[in-house]
């Protein structure tokens, strides 16, 4: 059985560990938190129940590994926060007028292909990168770039009130828009649900059954505050 460390030795280890953690964090509070986590992970070595040729070196290495992990998690958190802020900034371009939102999405449905429309909304509202969009929509980055370029060009013309017909879109641009499809898009945007936009794109491409997809999305949003007045709408004004 391994002999336990005397309390004086443990305190000395802890003091050395604290000084090292303070040098890493430059904060007494953060240093203390790091010491606590390190002691928990290295408790058996620290109290001597598990033998180690150099307990001090082991503790300091453990503390450094924990500090590196925490730093990486913090950076990931900062990136996630930045992405959220970008999405919020995009959503801030939307008003709470439900009728205005419906009109805007009706124009996008009437003037853009499903791919162009979905790429545009996912890019502008949720800040997805081209590679992410290509993966979500089962297409190439080149197709995503082309769709986004055409969509933005169309929207700019719509801002100016110009009538626009995309050469790749069949049918008259002013054709009646399916009400069920339109409401599904309204709900997807109002609820900030990018996956619902992907589902709708797949439905319009007939990769999944359109009627079933719209019906299921309707049921899903009906159970999550579909009647909320906090809907948002994009500004077409420059």
- Give all domains of the chain, ordered by start, each with its CATH number: 7-90 (1.10.1740), 93-222 (1.10.10)
| DSSP-based three-state secondary structure for 234 | strand
Q: Which tens digit of pLDDT belongs to each residue from 101-152?
A: 788 888 888 888 889 989 998 888 888 888 988 888 888 999 999 999 998 8
* 55 CB-contact burial (10 Å; exposed 0-12 / middle 13-18 / buried 19+): buried
**pTM beyond 0.85:** no
Tell me, what's the pLDDT at 186? 84
Question: Bridge partners of 234?
Answer: 94
Q: What b/e readout covers 66-79, taking b as 16+ CB neighbours within 10 angstroms?
A: bbeebeeeeeeeee
Tell me, what's the pLDDT at 227? 43
Rounded Cα–Cα distance for residues 89 and 110 (Å): 26
Q: Which tens digit of pLDDT belongs to each residue from 156-195?
A: 877 666 444 444 543 334 456 778 788 888 888 887 888 8
Rounded Cα–Cα distance for residues 21 and 43 (Å): 16
First to last CA, the chain: 77
pLDDT score of 53 more than 80: yes
Tell me, what's the pLDDT at 93? 52
User: How many residues in the chain?
Assistant: 238
User: Mean of the per-residue pLDDT values for the chain?
Assistant: 75
Q: What residue spans of the chain are helical by DSSP H?
A: 7-25, 28-41, 43-46, 55-91, 98-111, 114-126, 130-136, 141-159, 179-190, 194-204, 210-222
Q: How far is CA 152 from CA 61, 80, 140, 214, in A?
A: 52, 26, 18, 26
pLDDT score of 99 more than 90: no
CB 202 within 8 A of CB 216: no
Question: Bridge partners of 109?
Answer: none
């Amino acid at each position: 059985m391994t002999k336990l460390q005397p309390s004086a030795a443990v305190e000395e280890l802890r003091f050395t560990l604290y000084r090292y953690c303070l040098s890493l964090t430059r904060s007494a509070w953060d240093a203390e938190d790091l010491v606590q986590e390190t002691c928990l992970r290295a408790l058996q070595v620290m109290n001597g129940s598990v033998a180690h040729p150099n307990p001090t070196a082991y503790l300091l290495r453990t503390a450094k590994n924990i500090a590196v992990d925490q730093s990486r998690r913090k950076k990931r958190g900062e990136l996630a926060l930045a992405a959220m802020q970008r999405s919020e900034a995009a959503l801030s371009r939307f008003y709470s007028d439900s009728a205005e939102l419906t009109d805007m999405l009706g124009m996008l449905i009437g003037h853009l292909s499903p791919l162009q429309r979905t790429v545009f909304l996912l890019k502008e509202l949720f800040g997805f990168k081209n590679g992410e969009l290509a993966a979500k929509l089962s297409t190439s980055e080149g197709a995503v770039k082309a769709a986004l370029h055409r969509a933005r060009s169309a929207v700019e013309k719509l801002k100016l009130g110009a009538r626009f017909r995309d050469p790749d879109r069949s049918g008259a641009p002013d054709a009646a828009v399916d009400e069920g499809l339109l409401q599904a898009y309204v709900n997807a945007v109002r609820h900030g649900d990018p996956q619902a936009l992907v589902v709708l794109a797949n439905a319009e491409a007939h990769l999944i059954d359109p009627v079933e997809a719209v019906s299921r999305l309707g049921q899903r949003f009906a159970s999550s505050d579909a009647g909320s007045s906090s809907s948002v709408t994009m500004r077409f004004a420059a």
